[in-house]
Structure 1
Amino acid sequence: MATIIRMPAVSAGSDEAAIQTWLVAPGQTLTVGQPLAEIETEKAVVEYAAEIEGTVLKLLAAEGVAVNVGDPIAVVGAQGESADDAELGPAASAVAETQAVDGPPVVVETQAVDVAPVVADAPVSERVATPSRQFASPIVRRLAKERGLDLTTVVGSGPGGRVVRRDLDSLPTTAAAAPIPAAPVPASAAASAAAPVVAARAGTVEVPHTGMRRAIARRLTESKSTVPHFYLVADCQVDRLVALRKEVNESSPVKVSLNDFVLKAAAAAFVDVPEANATWGETAVTRYSTVDMSVAVAIDGGLVTPVLRSVESQTLTEIALNVADIAQRARAGQLKQHELEGGSFAVSNLGMYGVTEFSAIINPPQSAILAVGRARPEAVVVDGALEVGTIMTVTLSADHRVLDGALAAQWLAAFVRRIESPLGMLV
């Protein structure tokens, strides 16, 4: 019997997503693990791989159309089988229709020629261009609405003329439209019912919230409100680390950064103190046998935290290559779904911006995050004598539900030992 593929939850806290690009077509043979579609969320575009094998019988979701998580997006079955054999349910027809995010429909009336919405019964070959329509993805329409931008004034540069995020940079900012009341308001009550209008102060500019900024605000506010943070600070003397890095980079074709050493030292500290490699759950604390950690990557409009797997078993060169790869793909919006999930720990390094010390907010369900400042020259005492040393301040933010103070202190002490004796990380 034909099987329904439903929209996965590719982003924590998101109730909907959109197919940016289908990577298969009806009639195509599908294997487990084969890329099925690129799915667009508030934060990134992730590649979704098939979890079953068979023949693609029908695509139910149009590219660029918002779909609720759990709604049908495709039908897969045996060769020659009909998609009608699958029990799609009432939600399937709704998925195939043009849907909107927070208001207007997915197509915008304009003079441009673009791709028409795909209905459930139309094969790929019938997705022809129609006049007077412009196609924009949900995230583009949401950003345009939040920024007060007029999509009808732009010709999209995406596939089929679709308006994509980079096209918004060329649009003039206009005043956002006022919300339409749900019901008529009597004239006598209009003054009290209307939202107050606040005049902008001279010399100020209001920047509307983007979807990513709202998501970051929601998750970090939830973290600070529900996770009992506590903080431990340590100064690391990294003269030997700086010297070793210079020597490594002089002989290796792959350049290793200080942050790569930090990731390796953090993973090694979890090997030394395995009890700290854990996360909080509703019924139990989960401990992990591998060190999977997130690396904060700044992108346009916010940041993402892709996860590096089994860092404890990677060499410094492998860490350097993997970090460069995920950072590049994060900025290009090409991260895969599994790369944004999991992990028990994160590293956030602002040293390259000249930041000396800061405290980071834990990204649930992870239980800790290490904030790394810049390596700087400072006076240090060595064998009772005053010398100039290179100091790097790190701050561990820990979830007190998972890590007690003593356990967190043991982990931080192990990290300091590892980072101050870096040669051990090469063997």
Structure 2
Amino acid sequence: MTTSITMPALSPTMEEGNLAKWHVKVGDKIEPGQVIAEIETDKATMEVEAVDEGVIAEILVPEGSQGVKVNTPIATLAGEGEAAKPVKKEETLQAQKKATQTQSSSPLVGEGSEGGAGGASSGENTAATPPPTAPTRGGERVLASPLARRLAEQGGIDLSGLRGSGPNGRIVKSDIEAAAKSPRAAQAPQQSREVAKPAPQQAPAHLSLEQQGIRPGSYDLVPLDLMRKTIAKRMTASFRDVPHFPLTIDLEIDALLKARGEINKRFADNGVKISVNDMCIKAAALALKLVPEANASYTPDGLAMHHHADIGVAVAIPHGLITPIVWAAETKGLAQISHEMTDLADRARNKKLKPEEFQGGTFTISNMGMLGIKSFASIINEPHGMIMSIGAGEKRPIVKNDALAIATMMTVTVTCDHRVVDGALGAAFLKAFKSFLEDPMAMLL
């Protein structure tokens, strides 16, 4: 029996992926557990293993294909000794269309579970609004590009009365522009408008750059990759849906820098090289255990109080960022944290992280101090209740014992989810964090 191999969902939030590479070809016999392809998601490139045994009968989606929807057939598998029944291209397109419709109308289950940037919180309101019904011509769906549909909607142009100049009669931007100059083609049936029910209110369509005054040809358009699309989607959802507020504190880190220097000097022969960021991870983990109410996540059913301080650390990679996680950081020494972060950061930049290494966590740290940023506030990375933004350490004049002095100061801001962490709780966490960072010996207790 011929079966389909479909684009797998490699994470709870994955909707589409890029088929980076095939490890098999038509006619190859495969067995369960054998690596057959590499799929590039918004966060990493992962190997896909075969589930069934058989012979590759047909490759439906060539390697290098972009934006392949989850559950779309990408190859067919025939039983050994069987003649393959090829899957028609039309069936593949229908399956991809069905997968797209299913994803657009289903709740984004687990959206906030990814350790990546932001995400929609789980609950009743996470289902996407169904798209408006596509125009039809003689009972058949009118083919039109998304841009053409948007321009037609803005200009009140009836797509069913147009003939497209694109592939397979697809209506494209130039057809809409031509229709706009033709009053007869641009007129939508008045009778239909009068009897049609008012459409539900939707967010206004995004204006093109030209509509906002940018001259055509004055810029280059770089297509969005999967990572940038995901970042845009989840950061928008987090900033819009999570009631957040910042708390900022200044820390004196001269003792921290001295302790770091002594540790690195003493254990240099053992390959130990502790960074300020490593010490911040440890201090944040201990502070979360000292103030356990702050180590929580919001859910519609209640507050999830986490057993461990699982610290996600933002790592900049080409075209975006990712937050690999130091699990149970409160139980680990500085040397182990340093070793783990070096390994995680290296593999993150090469997109070799496994999903379990960047999905989840309870708290996020973003350190832009090494880039010279003095102070900033990050967007909450759901489902975390807080995210910490660490600025650069610098010499500043301070008042100490009623006298002017010079000290190395560092500004730290935590952005709090007010559904989980209120002002007093956030302040208690920062007080604990400050106590560990300004007295590094306390982290050894």
TM bracket, shorter-chain basis? 0.5 to 0.7
- 1:403/1:200 Cα in 2 relative to 1: closer, same or farther (>3 Å)? closer
The aligned amino acid for 2:20 is: Q
Q: Distance in 2 between matches of 1:245 and 1:420?
A: 12
Q: CA deviation at 1:254?
A: 2.7
Structure showing greater Rg: 2
Q: CA deviation at 1:198?
A: 7.1
**1:113 alignment partner in structure 2:** none
User: Would the aligned equivalents of 2:314 and 2:323 in 1 still touch at CA under 8 Å?
Assistant: yes
User: Would the aligned equivalents of 1:71 and 1:92 in 2 still touch at CA under 8 Å?
Assistant: no
User: Would the aligned equivalents of 2:71 and 2:95 in 1 still touch at CA under 8 Å?
Assistant: no
Q: Which moved more, 1:243-252 or 1:380-389?
A: 380-389
Q: CA deviation at 1:413?
A: 1.3
RMSD, aligned α-carbons: 4.1
The aligned amino acid for 1:45 is: A
**What TM-score results when the alignment is normalised by the length of structure 1?**
0.67
- Aligned pairs for 1:81-100 within 5 A: 93-94=91-92
- 1:4/1:202 Cα in 2 relative to 1: closer, same or farther (>3 Å)? closer
| Residue 264 (1) aligns with residue 282 (2) | yes
**1:159 alignment partner in structure 2:** none
Q: Distance in 1 between matches of 2:426 and 2:89?
A: 48
Aligned residues: 342
- 1:188/1:281 Cα in 2 relative to 1: closer, same or farther (>3 Å)? same
User: Would the aligned equivalents of 2:77 and 2:84 in 1 still touch at CA under 8 Å?
Assistant: no
- Aligned pairs for 1:343-354 within 5 A: 343-354=361-372
Q: CA deviation at 1:80?
A: 5.8
Q: Distance in 2 between matches of 1:365 and 1:239?
A: 34
Q: CA deviation at 1:218?
A: 2.3
Q: Distance in 1 between matches of 2:355 and 2:303?
A: 24
Q: For structure 1, which runs of at least 5 residues remain unmatched after alignment? A: 103-177
User: Would the aligned equivalents of 2:389 and 2:414 in 1 still touch at CA under 8 Å?
Assistant: yes
- 1:192/1:380 Cα in 2 relative to 1: closer, same or farther (>3 Å)? farther
The aligned amino acid for 2:298 is: W
Q: Which moved more, 1:320-329 or 1:241-250?
A: 320-329
- 1:192/1:28 Cα in 2 relative to 1: closer, same or farther (>3 Å)? closer
The aligned amino acid for 1:15 is: E
User: Would the aligned equivalents of 2:179 and 2:186 in 1 still touch at CA under 8 Å?
Assistant: no
Q: CA deviation at 1:4?
A: 7.3
- Aligned pairs for 1:177-256 within 5 A: 179=173, 181=175, 185=179, 187-189=181-183, 200=214, 205-208=219-222, 210-211=224-225, 212-250=227-265, 251-252=267-268, 253-256=271-274
The aligned amino acid for 2:224 is: T
Q: Secondary structure at the match of 1:396?
A: strand
Q: CA deviation at 1:14?
A: 4.4
Q: CA deviation at 1:56?
A: 5.8
**What TM-score results when the alignment is normalised by the length of structure 2?**
0.64
Q: CA deviation at 1:90?
A: 9.7
| Residue 45 (1) aligns with residue 44 (2) | yes
Q: CA deviation at 1:300?
A: 2.0
Q: CA deviation at 1:398?
A: 0.8
Q: CA deviation at 1:397?
A: 0.3
Q: Distance in 1 between matches of 2:83 and 2:289?
A: 51
The aligned amino acid for 1:372 is: I
Q: CA deviation at 1:238?
A: 1.0
User: Would the aligned equivalents of 1:357 and 1:393 in 2 still touch at CA under 8 Å?
Assistant: yes
Q: Which moved more, 1:198-207 or 1:67-76?
A: 198-207
**1:68 alignment partner in structure 2:** 69
**1:374 alignment partner in structure 2:** 392
Q: Secondary structure at the match of 1:224?
A: helix
Q: Secondary structure at the match of 1:266?
A: helix
**2:425 alignment partner in structure 1:** 407
- 1:378/1:201 Cα in 2 relative to 1: closer, same or farther (>3 Å)? same
**2:140 alignment partner in structure 1:** none
**1:123 alignment partner in structure 2:** none
- 1:180/1:312 Cα in 2 relative to 1: closer, same or farther (>3 Å)? farther
User: Would the aligned equivalents of 1:292 and 1:308 in 2 still touch at CA under 8 Å?
Assistant: yes
- Aligned pairs for 1:94-113 within 5 A: 94=92
- 1:274/1:199 Cα in 2 relative to 1: closer, same or farther (>3 Å)? closer
Q: Secondary structure at the match of 1:223?
A: helix
Q: CA deviation at 1:303?
A: 1.9
The aligned amino acid for 2:173 is: P
Q: Distance in 1 between matches of 2:257 and 2:332?
A: 20
The aligned amino acid for 2:68 is: V
- Aligned pairs for 1:355-366 within 5 A: 355-366=373-384
The aligned amino acid for 1:291 is: A
Using the aligned pairs only, state the percent identity: 36
Q: CA deviation at 1:349?
A: 0.7
- 1:372/1:61 Cα in 2 relative to 1: closer, same or farther (>3 Å)? same
Q: CA deviation at 1:319?
A: 1.7
